[in-house]
Amino acid sequence: MYPSSFDYHAAGSVQEALALLAQYGDDAKLLAGGHSLIPVMKLRFAAPAHLIDIGRIPALSAISDGGANVHVGATARHADVAASPIVRTRVPLLAEVTAHIGDPLIRNMGTIGGSIAHADPAADLPAAMLALGASLVLAGPSGTRTVAADDFFTDVFTTALQPGEMLTEVVVPVPGAGSGAAYEKLPDPASGYAIVGIAVQLQVRDGAIASVRVGMTGLGPMPMRLAGVESALAGTAASTAAIAAAAARAGDGLSFDDDVRGSAAYKLNIARVYVRRALVRAMAASAG
Amino acid sequence: MATTSEPGASLIGASVKRKEDQRFITGKGRYTDDVTLPGQTYAAFVRSPHANATINRIDASAALAMPGVHAVLTGADMQAAGVNPIPPGWLHPGIKIAEFRALAVGRVSHVGNAVAVVIAASPSIARDAADLVDVDYTDHPAVADAVAALAAGAPQVHPDAPGNVVFNWQLGDAAAVDAAMAGAKSVVRQHLVNQRLIANAIEPRASLANYDAAADELTLYVTSQNPHVHRLIMGAFVLGIPEHKFRVIAPDVGGGFGSKIFIYPEECVVAWASKTLGRPVKWTATRSESFLTDAHGRDHSTDVEMAFDDAGTIVALRVKTVANLGAYLTLFAPAVPTYLYGTLMSGQYNIPAIHVDVTAAYTNTTPVDAYRGAGRPEATYALERTMDVAARQLGLDPAELRRRNLIAPDAFPFQTAVALQYDSGNYEPALDKALALIDYPARRAEQAAGRAAGTHIGIGLSAYIEACGLAPSHIVGSLGAQAGLYESGVVRIHPTGKVTVLTGSHSHGQGHETTFAQIVAQELGCTIDDVEIVHGDTGRVPFGMGTYGSRSGAVGGAALFGSLQKVKDKGRRIAAHLLEAAPEDVDFAGGNFFVKGSPSRTKSFAEVSLAAYLAHNLPPDMEPGLEATTFFNPSNFVFPFGVHIAIVEVDTETGHVTLQRYLAVDDFGNVINPMIVDGQLHGGIAQGAAQALWEGAQYDSNGQLLTGSMMNYGLPKAAFLPMFETDRTVTPSPVNPLGVKGAGEAGTIASTAAVANAVLDALSPFGITHLDMPLTPARIWSAIHGSHGGN
Ligand SMILES: Cc1cc2nc3c(=O)[nH]c(=O)nc-3n(C[C@H](O)[C@H](O)[C@H](O)COP(=O)(O)OP(=O)(O)OC[C@H]3O[C@@H](n4cnc5c(N)ncnc54)[C@H](O)[C@@H]3O)c2cc1C
């Protein structure tokens, strides 16, 4: 498999990457881990004339604990995120979700920023971003802005990133006491991507669900929160019955089609089952 | 083992580590794509995006204008140069052979059909230029499904095959079956789809041709399981190059599974283009091209009727199959759904009357040919799946129904109702052993308890037989094969006693460099490091039929064994001469010749080897040298058999299947290297289980392949599989001196039915009698919950 020919630029800094982006415009693509971009180029679905490699920018892959938030640099590799003691202890959902991506080869190359910017509707990390209520730091020609994950994924493979912008950092709020989280994924046997993936981050206070965020990947045009499930649960007593009632609303706001992966009825079913399973596990985790 | 002459020798039967693995796991294998020649150019193919279309015009001007492009060649150019279509290697009476040109002329018949080739200075220039070749097509309606292709009014794939029928083939006694069915207590009927599979060897197909004008010689490096067959067919039938001017080298080959047996368009084009351009030309498939152009496997639609008397004894079997052969007939295609399928329909059972009716159809899809097991997995699935359906219908335990119908041990050689004569077998011990190892009653009890508690375990059996060690040449010749299926083996002893073996078998994963060396080392009393195994080069190996049909040990190994006896015999006569003894008084053991009764009068094998080449003192009538050639032509197939048991758990909430346990009890006769045989089984079981659960090629009604990449074609992954449990019974084969049977395909042959039976056993409480494969969660869940679902 041979991609069309292209020029390669190794950016030494975010500034340099942004300058190259400005210079080459639509002819350029940022290259992070290359594990979504290069396959697409080999299949000749994309043929950028310039690749701007951001994988060598010092410190862009740093992971740090900022107290209220954990900061993960855009080029942090999946394997490093999944193994990071900071991530594992402070925002365990991110570690759990990241460990579900592909296989070790993929996790050794792919980056958190690349996965989020690529916004594959079946990728794992976007569901985690939504469940965690993460913010995404975007650097552009006119400075830096921060976009909530809720506003970032806008359509199929489409995000709030504007031409000339790059994602530099993921900011993940650290959940408070009584929190629990879980990720339940049904992988496609061929690709390993999610047929459905449900990420749940919730907090239980005095036996009631104080807050809950449910991120879904796989069953829609883009990763999205399951508002019906969240509103059914918020404020209710943390119970199996409440979970069952909430899971029944997993299909709210989604529309399912029959395709090679299964019938619409089947997809609605697995949405409900996986929401229930994720909620059960997150609830159990919140208890300790 | 009766055939080994040295007491105490133990290399045959030892799990010697594979000699070849050192180079493979350190990345030092040398595959076709690793070979680079001076002045090398690169080919890229222009392929049809349509399944059935007329080619109106090919405009290569933009491609030719690109710097670095040497040539753009079309089917018309090839035809004008006198290159012939690629012939099938097996014929049936009345077969309709559609012209299979390496580059299409006038018409394309499947998506991916090669239309033109670009030869350029680099692979990327070739690819860029190929995208610039402008082909004007008129698209016609296409047909991808074989049953649809045979229906009235279906789109016509080839003008000269009316109704898309390639052939109709029948075997057995139809009248006897009719009579037995009429008088039977019950008849079990089942429709079964054996879905199309794509082999996906890790190494994609590749070829590199180099025409040497000075010597008027063509050398072709190619990913082939049978380089001599490639040379014969490409040289004599397609390109018109005599054997002595054509060398075919199949270096390290990264998996084949049948898909690298056949003569493909690309290698014919590359060979011809090299001669035309006077430059080396290389082509390596992309994975997308592999999906579209490697011959696919299976693709049967079958109706089985099995009749029983009131004791649960099978009295008759009727099998009616439609086989999809795709757009063209590749080398083995006509044999796979016939002689490798219908002849296996008796399985391990004593079935007095069998009739098999196979209609093969052309469709606008990739050609279908042998894929690991080739016909025998399809036969085993049809028979063993039906046995489970029957057991449930008759209210019998599936193990018990099988037991009642096994061929008795004293019935061998056993003449089946479908032509084959089984040489040997003893089936009940394998069944007993498998049931004991899995603790069948305990598993059934667990299943019952689980069902009460809402968990759904399934237990699936598959009792298989296969005919392999292809094949007695006179038999296959009488059945339409265009060549015999013997094998050659040369043993060349060097003056120091070191050994070079030239074998016509070809290893592309099987481990011949180890197992064949074990045979040599045991027979000659040397170490396996004293032995070099050469294969895959028509310039070095006299002749060969290659590796497929689990034939290397039973046929290639037997040829090697024959040559070993010849060199030992000559060595004995030399030793006797040197020791001044009569040859019949000289024995050979542990690498030494010695006079019976006086072990101090001895000559080592190395001393004798040197004497053979020095020739100072040989028996008067003897030629110098120590080398022997044997062509072994088997008198019959070999018949491995066994019982495999799969245990699955079905999550009825999602339809997800977990393969919990897999046990294989096989009889491969004598085993040369148990570790390698286990490895062959493991890979085969993975592939067979994958057919049951994950794999399946799908076309849409326009003939577009929907599963053309690893994103949507479900190959098995290690994480999906349990640790396999293997055990064996040993019934040596009488048809070769090693007493071995084939072990390369058994895993695939047995496992699909075992896993499918297990899943359907798990689903029996839901009244589900059968589902077609792959048994995906969506399919299972929909069956449990009815088409509207919801829970
Ligand atoms: C075989 C295989 C299996 C996989 N399985 C899974 C799976 O199970 N689950 C899953 O979620 N993913 C899976 N992936 C995808 C993997 O996680 C990729 O690594 C990820 O999607 C992209 O990250 P990357 O760093 O490789 O990005 P790249 O491929 O380098 O880039 C992807 C896209 O994002 C853009 N981009 C990259 N970084 C930035 C940035 N900082 N700012 C703005 N734009 C940027 C690029 O320009 C490009 O358009 C799989 C990939 C492969 C090859």
Give A196-244 pLDDT, tens digit per residue.
999 999 999 999 999 999 999 999 999 999 999 999 999 999 899 999 9
**A18 occurs within a structural domain:** yes
Pocket lining: A193 vs ligand 1, CB cutoff 6 Å: yes
Contacts of A188 in chain B (CB under 8 A): 712, 714
Measured in angstroms, how far is the CA atom of residue A117 from the centroid of ligand 1?
8
B521 with B11: CB under 8 angstroms? Answer: yes
Distance, in Å, from the CA atom of B532 to the CA atom of A92, rounded to the nearest integer, reads: 56
At A97, the amino acid letter reads V
B634 with B606: CB under 8 angstroms? Answer: no
* Token pair 């993940």 in the structure block, residue: A172
| Atom in ligand 1 nearest the alpha carbon of residue A36 | 29
**A61 occurs within a structural domain:** no
What H or E segment, with its residue span, contains residue B74?
Answer: strand B69-74
* Domains of chain B with bracketed CATH: 21-29+486-632 (3.30.365.10), 32-140+204-253+260-293 (3.90.1170.50), 296-471+636-787 (3.30.365.10)
Q: Do residues A254 and A202 share a domain?
A: yes
Q: Do residues A223 and A145 share a domain?
A: no
pLDDT tens series, chain A, 288 aa: 789 899 999 999 999 999 999 999 999 999 999 999 999 999 999 999 999 999 999 899 999 999 999 999 999 999 999 999 999 999 999 999 999 999 999 999 999 999 999 999 999 999 999 999 999 999 999 999 999 999 999 999 999 999 999 999 999 999 999 999 999 999 999 999 999 999 999 999 999 999 999 999 999 999 999 999 999 999 999 899 999 999 999 999 899 988 878 899 999 999 999 999 999 999 999 987
Helix axes A92-99, A125-132, angle to 10 degrees: 170
Measured in angstroms, how far is the CA atom of residue A51 from the centroid of ligand 1?
14
A57 with A11: CB under 8 angstroms? Answer: yes
**pTM for the structure as a whole:** 0.96
Contacts of A273 in chain B (CB under 8 A): 653-654
**A127 occurs within a structural domain:** yes
Q: Do residues A28 and A97 share a domain?
A: no
**A45 occurs within a structural domain:** yes
Give the DSSP letter string of B549-594: TT-IIIIIIHHHHHHHHHHHHHHHHHHHHHHTS-GGGEEEETTEEE
Q: Which of these three, A139, A173, A207, is where a domain ends?
A: A173
CB-based contacts of A39, cutoff 8 Å, min separation 6: none
pLDDT of residue B788: 38
Q: Whose CA is nearest to atom 44 of ligand 1?
A: A117
Token pair for residue B704? 């577009």
**A1 occurs within a structural domain:** no
**A2 occurs within a structural domain:** no
* Phi and psi angles of residue B141, each rounded to the nearest 5 degrees, phi first: -60, 145
Chain-centre distance for alpha carbon B403: 29
Q: Which of these three, A147, A173, A199, is where a domain ends?
A: A173
Closest to A265 (Cβ–Cβ): which among B711, B776, B790? B790
Q: Note every long-range contact of B683-686, with CB atoms under 8 Å and residues 24 or more positions apart, other chains counting.
A: B683/B509, B683/B747, B684/B372, B684/B373, B684/B744, B684/B745, B684/B746, B684/B747, B684/B748, B684/B749, B684/B751, B685/B644, B685/B721, B685/B724, B685/B747, B685/B748, B685/B750, B685/B751, B686/B716, B686/B721, B686/B747
Distance, in Å, from the CA atom of B603 to the CA atom of B618, rounded to the nearest integer, reads: 14
Closest to B789 (Cβ–Cβ): which among A2, A42, A269? A269
Query: Other C-beta atoms within 10 Å of B307: how many?
Result: 24
CB-based contacts of B636, cutoff 8 Å, min separation 6: B421, B423, B472, B475, B735
Contacts of B288 in chain A (CB under 8 A): 1, 43
Task: Tell me the shortest Cα–Cα distance from A226 to chain B, in angstroms.
Answer: 19
Distance, in Å, from the CA atom of B747 to the CA atom of B640, rounded to the nearest integer, reads: 11
Task: Tell me the shortest Cα–Cα distance from A66 to chain B, in angstroms.
Answer: 37
Q: Do residues A207 and A244 share a domain?
A: yes
Cα distances (Å, whole numbers) of residue B329 to B484, B487, B702: 19, 25, 21
- Of all residues in chain A, the one with the smallest CA distance to B774 is A189
Q: Whose CA is nearest to atom 9 of ligand 1?
A: A101
B517 with B19: CB under 8 angstroms? Answer: yes
Cβ–Cβ below 8 Å for B712 and A191: yes
Contacts of A2 in chain B (CB under 8 A): 123-124, 127
B122 with B42: CB under 8 angstroms? Answer: yes
Residue from A269, A272, A277 to probe the interface with B (highest B Cβ count within 10 Å): A269
A190 touches chain B (CB under 8 A): yes
Task: Tell me the shortest Cα–Cα distance from A166 to chain B, in angstroms.
Answer: 28
Residue A205 β-bridge partners:
A208
CB-based contacts of B83, cutoff 8 Å, min separation 6: B102, B238, B239, B240, B268, B272
- Of all residues in chain B, the one with the smallest CA distance to A3 is B124
pLDDT of residue A81: 98
- Terminal CA-to-CA distance of chain B, rounded, Å? 61
* Token pair 């994963």 in the structure block, residue: B509
Task: Tell me the shortest Cα–Cα distance from B753 to chain A, in angstroms.
Answer: 20
pLDDT of residue A165: 98
pLDDT of residue B790: 36
* Phi and psi angles of residue B228, each rounded to the nearest 5 degrees, phi first: -70, -35
A263 touches chain B (CB under 8 A): yes
Q: Do residues A207 and A147 share a domain?
A: no
Burial B641-660 (b: 16+ CB within 10 A, else e): bbbbbbbbbbebbbbbbebe
Task: Tell me the shortest Cα–Cα distance from B694 to chain A, in angstroms.
Answer: 7
**By residue range, what is the domain housing residue A251?**
179-286
Task: Tell me the shortest Cα–Cα distance from B717 to chain A, in angstroms.
Answer: 8
Contacts of A41 in chain B (CB under 8 A): none
- Dihedral of the alpha carbons of B480, B483, B486, B490, in degrees to the nearest 10: 180
**A63 occurs within a structural domain:** no
For β-strands A158-159 and B314-324, DSSP reports them as unpaired
Pocket lining: A115 vs ligand 1, CB cutoff 6 Å: yes
| Burial degree of A156 (CB within 10 A; 0-12, 13-18, 19+) | exposed
Length of chain B: 791
Token pair for residue B574? 């030399």
Measured in angstroms, how far is the CA atom of residue A39 from the centroid of ligand 1?
10
* Token pair 């069998």 in the structure block, residue: B354
Cβ–Cβ below 8 Å for A186 and B654: yes
Q: Do residues A48 and A90 share a domain?
A: no
Token pair for residue A45? 């679905």
Distance, in Å, from the CA atom of B570 to the CA atom of B583, rounded to the nearest integer, reads: 10
Q: Do residues A113 and A195 share a domain?
A: no
Instruction: Report how many Cβ contacts below 8 Å link chain A to chain B.
Output: 78
Q: Do residues A242 and A281 share a domain?
A: yes
pLDDT of residue B2: 34
Q: Of the candidates B377, B723, B725, which has an alpha carbon nearest to the alpha carbon of residue B550? A: B377
Query: In what side-by-side order are the strands of the sheet with B53-59?
Result: B107-108, B53-59, B134-139
Chain A 22-81, CB below 8 Å of chain B: which residues? 42-44
Cβ–Cβ below 8 Å for A190 and B777: no
Pocket lining: A48 vs ligand 1, CB cutoff 6 Å: no
* Token pair 């080897």 in the structure block, residue: B609
B740 with B669: CB under 8 angstroms? Answer: yes
A260 touches chain B (CB under 8 A): yes
CB-based contacts of B716, cutoff 8 Å, min separation 6: B686, B687, B689, B690, B694, B695
Q: Do residues A118 and A27 share a domain?
A: no
Pocket lining: A37 vs ligand 1, CB cutoff 6 Å: yes
Backbone CA torsion sign across B65, B71, B75, B79: positive
Q: Do residues A129 and A87 share a domain?
A: yes
Cβ–Cβ below 8 Å for A263 and B128: no
**A241 occurs within a structural domain:** yes
Cβ–Cβ below 8 Å for B124 and A265: no
- Domain count within chain A: 3
Pocket lining: A138 vs ligand 1, CB cutoff 6 Å: no
Chain-centre distance for alpha carbon B40: 33
Residue from A195, A266, A267 to probe the interface with B (highest B Cβ count within 10 Å): A266
Contacts of B714 in chain A (CB under 8 A): 188-190
Q: Whose CA is nearest to atom 51 of ligand 1?
A: A35
For β-strands B592-595 and B598-604, DSSP reports them as antiparallel
Closest to B778 (Cβ–Cβ): which among A1, A2, A262? A262
CATH value at residue A128: 3.30.465.10
Distance, in Å, from the CA atom of B701 to the CA atom of B355, rounded to the nearest integer, reads: 32
Contacts of A256 in chain B (CB under 8 A): none
Q: Do residues A211 and A132 share a domain?
A: no
CB-based contacts of B401, cutoff 8 Å, min separation 6: B312, B387, B390, B391, B394
A104 touches chain B (CB under 8 A): no
Token pair for residue B388? 């489970």
Cβ–Cβ below 8 Å for B720 and A186: no
Low-confidence ranges of chain B (pLDDT < 50): 1-8, 787-791
Closest to A263 (Cβ–Cβ): which among B653, B710, B789? B789
B634 with B555: CB under 8 angstroms? Answer: yes
Cβ–Cβ below 8 Å for A190 and B712: yes
Token pair for residue B143? 């047909």
Task: Tell me the shortest Cα–Cα distance from B282 to chain A, in angstroms.
Answer: 14
Q: Of the candidates B360, B5, B38, which has an alpha carbon nearest to the alpha carbon of residue B169? A: B360
CATH value at residue A198: 3.30.390.50
Token pair for residue B241? 């190059």
At B243, the amino acid letter reads E
Q: Of the candidates B116, B81, B83, B33, which has an alpha carbon nearest to the alpha carbon of residue B235? A: B83
Q: Do residues A48 and A87 share a domain?
A: no
Q: Whose CA is nearest to atom 20 of ligand 1?
A: A115
Helix axes B398-405, B376-394, angle to 10 degrees: 110
What H or E segment, with its residue span, contains residue B726?
Answer: strand B724-728
Q: Of the candidates B629, B528, B19, B512, which has an alpha carbon nearest to the alpha carbon of residue B250? A: B512
Distance, in Å, from the CA atom of B209 to the CA atom of B230, rounded to the nearest integer, reads: 13
Q: Which of these three, A173, A192, A212, is where a domain ends?
A: A173
